[in-house]
Amino acid sequence: MQSQSLAIFLDIATEAALAAGAIILESWGQLQIIKEKERSGDLVTEIDTKSEKTIVEIIQRHFPHHSLLAEEGGAIDKGSQEYLWAIDPLDGTTNYAHGYPIAAVSIGLLIQGIPRVGVVYNPFRNELFRAATGLGATCNRQTIRVSNTPKLEQSLLVSGFAYDRRETQDNNYREFCYLTHLTQGVRRSGSAALDLTDVAAGRIDGYWERGIKPWDIAAGIVIVEEAGGKITAYDQQPLNMASGRILATNGKIHNSLSQALLNTPPWGKWDNQ
């Protein structure tokens, strides 16, 4: 894929993300409809739908033969999966519905199944993160790089919890507490897209999560990798986006964070570690 083509895709993703971000800001504090999806706590608002409609219209206007996978509307198959846009029109809906200003638009393009273009826009901080394979990663057009933190015990991490956390023991609570004990802290923002951009910008040293969807992470994967970071499965095997699990770091703490996730002891067994 030529860099010129990737730059065009990146510009269209940027156009769509900025348009959707404007809708999110304009509607801030004016929600009329808040619904739960199939799982308790998994919310959707009319702004999710309106933002997604705007993004889809812009992408389809420019690339009518590309397929799409959007959080609210599902898959739109145009006959070829070579180009697949993964769209989260409002990542952080629960935050937004509660008036907590941490949310973003996330638009990623997979080419032959591999994330190649990513745009994440945080309208509340007016931060536009962009990346494409071989073109680097930027925030508001300024180059960004992952942190240089060398050790897990010196790191600041971020994670999240899946919507089914009430129903399964595989809920990340134990890992969250254990890594809080091992590091300088673990945060939870409520937006996987922003967690990944924080890793890319060097604000956070590592991120892991389970129960996520391709539209949550497709854009952020490109941004982290182009900022010099590392993305894998928990066990450092190549990432399978369909697995719902991701590990992203500055690269320097990747092995130690992976090992901590794979070897998290039972509750209360880490007091002297």
Are domains 3-143 and 152-262 of this chain identical in fold? no
Pairing of strands 104-111, 83-91: antiparallel
Q: pTM, whole model, 2 decimals?
A: 0.92
Tens-digit pLDDT profile for residues 66-115: 999 987 777 777 666 799 999 999 999 889 989 999 999 999 999 999 99
Mean of the pLDDT values across residues 6-11?
A: 97
Q: What is the pLDDT of residue 164?
A: 60
User: What's the chain's length in residues?
Assistant: 273
| Token pair listed for 99 | 């008036």
DSSP state of 239: P
User: CA-CA distance, 5 to 215, in Å (whole number)?
Assistant: 22
Q: What share of the chain is helix, strand, coil (3-state, %, to 5)?
A: 35, 25, 40
- Closest by CA to 139, choosing from 125, 127, 148, is 127
Computed over every residue of the chain, the mean pLDDT equals 90
8 Å CB contact between 199 and 224:
yes
Pairing of strands 67-70, 74-76: antiparallel
CATH number of 3-143: 3.30.540.10
Mean of the pLDDT values across residues 112-127?
A: 97
8 Å CB contact between 120 and 223:
yes
Domain ranges of the chain: 3-143, 152-262
Q: What is the pLDDT of residue 32?
A: 59
CATH number of 152-262: 3.40.190.80
Q: What is the pLDDT of residue 41?
A: 47
Q: Among residues of the chain, what percentage have pLDDT more than 90?
A: 74
User: CA-CA distance, 107 to 87, in Å (whole number)?
Assistant: 5
Tens-digit pLDDT profile for residues 169-202: 677 889 999 999 999 999 999 999 999 999 999 9
Tens-digit pLDDT profile for residues 19-60: 999 999 988 877 655 555 555 545 557 788 889 999 999 999
Say which residue, 255 or 41, is predicted with more confidence.
255
Mean of the pLDDT values across residues 163-170?
A: 62
